[in-house]
Every structure is written in structure tokens, then in C-alpha cells.
Copies of this chain bind each other. A is one copy, B any other.
């Protein structure tokens, strides 16, 4: 509020209560001058997001980060919503894509999903922004093109590719979203996750054994805390499901013969 650090975005005369700048400190030194572009705002917003999380990401805090007032942001950004969209696209561009290799499409798809999750976890709470949003900028061009290059040679129909991209994005976004939320206590007070899990398990184990035999002795499975395994499981289900949509490869002669998919062939993380 009353914090009066130098480096304000404006460059008017200094306030009367403050000592004048010494002449050797160039007032438009390239480091001190922050002309408040949209990019600078995004930088600041990302900093605030990483530090304070989504709940702490208010226009006022972003403005504080730039040593200015909230009204100043609205010249470069129409809305908080637009700011969030831009933030989301900026993070999306951090994902690096390997050269698509259709022979290994399953593993590359998995790799992409893992990387998306990692990126979302790296920038705290960005997952909460991703839901309901489609990267509309160059990001969707990059990702879409990559996905088609990966899956078309395998024989997956175009419509399925489009849907599949959507599905994976939805899955990863939702998963990272829950991950970022943590477990919400049903009582409204905020407790450690362990305590909450223990509450749930206690409840389920207290159920009458005659009415709820199955769920009772699977209580510890229900509230499993190995979150990575859970992620890999969902990924595995989706990839296996997509496999059944792949026709015989059209052109690629190098792809291995399609093994009849029994349960033997999966060397991936299969729980229990």
C-alpha cells in the first residue's frame, strides 16, 4: 500500500515527500523502466500465481507486483478472464514436443500427458485455469499438428484423433486440477490430507458388514494415496482404449505387427 519503492512504472516528477533522485541515477535506466506491456503483466501474474496460488491471484496483487494500481492493467488486458487465458497459453507453450514417431505412439502419447501434468504442477494452480479453456493461440496449432502427425499413420480416423486430443487434455487438466486442490475436508475445516483420508477410511470401515461387504474390506484401496499410480492408471486405460480404434497402418512399413491385444502385452504400471 504505502510501500514506496523506486522503479515505479510511471516517470513523472517524484512525490513531494520523497527526496529527489540523484542525477547519476538515470531515470530511464533500462532495468528500472518497466513500460507495463501485456507481456510484463503476464510475467508478473505468473510470478504471483507461482507464489500465492490461484486464490491469491487478484488484479490488485498483480498490480502491486508491478508497483502500480489495478486500474492500470485494464488498458492492456480486457478482463481478468483474458489474463487467465493468456496465462494458460503461455504455460502451454512450455511443453516441448518430440519428433513424432508413429511406431511408438502409445509411449509418446503417455510422455506428452506426463509432461503436461508436470508443467501444470510446476506452475501452481494453472490447472484450475485450464478447465473449460482451449489453447486458442499458436499452442493449439502446434499440439494439433503434432497429434495428427503421430496418429494418422497409425490408422486412427481424423475425428477420433480430434476427440482423443480433447479427451487427454480433459483428463490431464482435471487430474492436475484435483491435485492442485488437494483433498477438501467434508466438514469445511482445513485438515492435513492424512487426517482427511483417515476420516474417510474410518467411516467406510464402520459400515455394517452385511449391507456393504465389498466396499468395507476395500477401504484402504479406495483411499489410496499413491497419486502417481492413479495418474498412470487413467492414462493406461485411455491409451488401451484408443488402441482399439487404430486400424492397420496405412503407409508406414516399419511399424511392428499388431499383436492381438490380450492382457499379456502390458508391461506398464498395472496396479496390484
Contact = CB atoms under 8 A, between A and B. Distances in A.
Contacts of A211: 145
Number of copies: 2
Contact of A234 (B81, B158, B167, B189): B167
A271 B167 CA distance: 14
Contact of A171 (B165, B171, B236, B244): B171
Interface in A173-195: 173-175, 177-178, 181-184, 186-189
A272 B155 CA distance: 13
A3 interface: no
A242 interface: yes
A16 interface: no
Interface string A139-151: 0110011001100
A122 interface: no
A218 B161 contact: yes
A271 B237 CA distance: 19
Interface string A68-96: 00000000011101110100010000000
A136 B203 contact: yes
Given A141-B212, A175-B170, A215-B148, A163 B132 contact: no
A241 B237 contact: yes
Interface in A213-272: 213-215, 218, 221-222, 224, 230, 233-234, 236-242, 244-247, 260-263, 266, 270-272
A133 interface: yes
Interface size class of A (residues with CB under 8 A): 35 or more
A85 B261 CA distance: 42
B167 A233 contact: yes
Contact of A263 (B89, B158, B212, B245): B245
B261 A158 contact: no
Given A83-B188, A149-B214, A157-B271, 16 more contacts: A82-B187, A136-B186, A136-B199, A141-B212, A145-B213, A152-B214, A159-B224, A162-B222, A164-B237, A167-B234, A170-B178, A171-B171, A171-B174, A240-B240, A244-B266, A247-B263
The 7 closest A-B pairs by CB, nearest first: A82-B188, A148-B214, A174-B174, A237-B241, A79-B188, A132-B181, A241-B241
